[in-house]
Amino acid sequence: MKSLIKKFGKINSGVLALCILFLILELVGHRHGETSIEDIIFFPAFFGFLSCIIIFKIGVSLRAFLMKDEDYYDR
């Protein structure tokens, strides 16, 4: 555990611990969503993680099209 904290950092390890805690909470109580798809176990966790990765990937790929030099409009 100590080596994980050392390797991953205190804050990062803390977030990981919270992730695990909220997964356990779902096992303790009964969670249901606004839609039936959300009732799948750990759905929000998967959705949140994947969404963030997708947003990042699309954002980075858009750099090639949308990112120009800082003085682009001043030329």
Partner 1 sequence: MIDSFPPGMIMVIGALLIPFLPHIVRQIFMMLLVLLSAYPLTLGIGVHTTINFFDLEFILFQSDALTIPFAIIFHIAAVLNIIYGAHVKHWKQHVAIMSYSGAAIAAVHAGDLLTLFVWWEATAFTSVFLILASNTRRSYKSAFRYIVIQVTSGMFLLAGALILLNNEGNALLTKFDINTLYGQLIFIAFGIKAAFPLLNGWLQDSYPEASEIGTVALSTFTTKLAIYCFAKCFAGTEILIAIGAIMTFYPIFFAVIENDLRRVLTYSLNNQLGFMIVAIGIGTELAINGAVAHAFAHILYKGLLFMGMGAVLYRVGTCKASELGGLFKYMPITAVCTIIGAISISAFPLFSGFVAKSLIMSALGKEGLVLVYFMLLFASAGVLHHSGIKIPFFAFFAHDSGIKTKEAPINMIAAMVIASLLCILIGVFPSLFYSILPYQIAYEPYDFSHVVGQLQLLTFAAFAFICLWHFKIYPPELNSTVLNSDWIYRKMIPGVLIPFLSMMSNLNIKMSNYIIDTSLKTKTYLANIMTRDRVFDREVGKDGLIILQVFTVFLVFVLVSQFF
Least CB distance to partner 1 at residue 64 (A): 10
Q: Alpha-carbon dihedral of residues 20, 23, 29, 34, nearest 10 degrees? A: 150
Neighbour-count burial for 14-34, b at 16+ CB within 10 Å, e otherwise: eeeeeeeeeeeeeeeeeeeee
The greatest distance separating any two alpha carbons of the chain, rounded to the nearest whole angstrom, comes to 61
Q: Is 69 near partner 1 (CB under 8 A)?
A: yes
**Which x/- pattern, by CB under 8 A, does the window 9-48 give for partner 1?**
x--x--xx-xx--xx-xx--xxxxxxx-xx---xxxxxxx
Interface positions with partner 1 (CB under 8 A): 8-9, 12, 15-16, 18-19, 22-23, 25-26, 29-35, 37-38, 42-56, 58-60, 62-63, 65-74
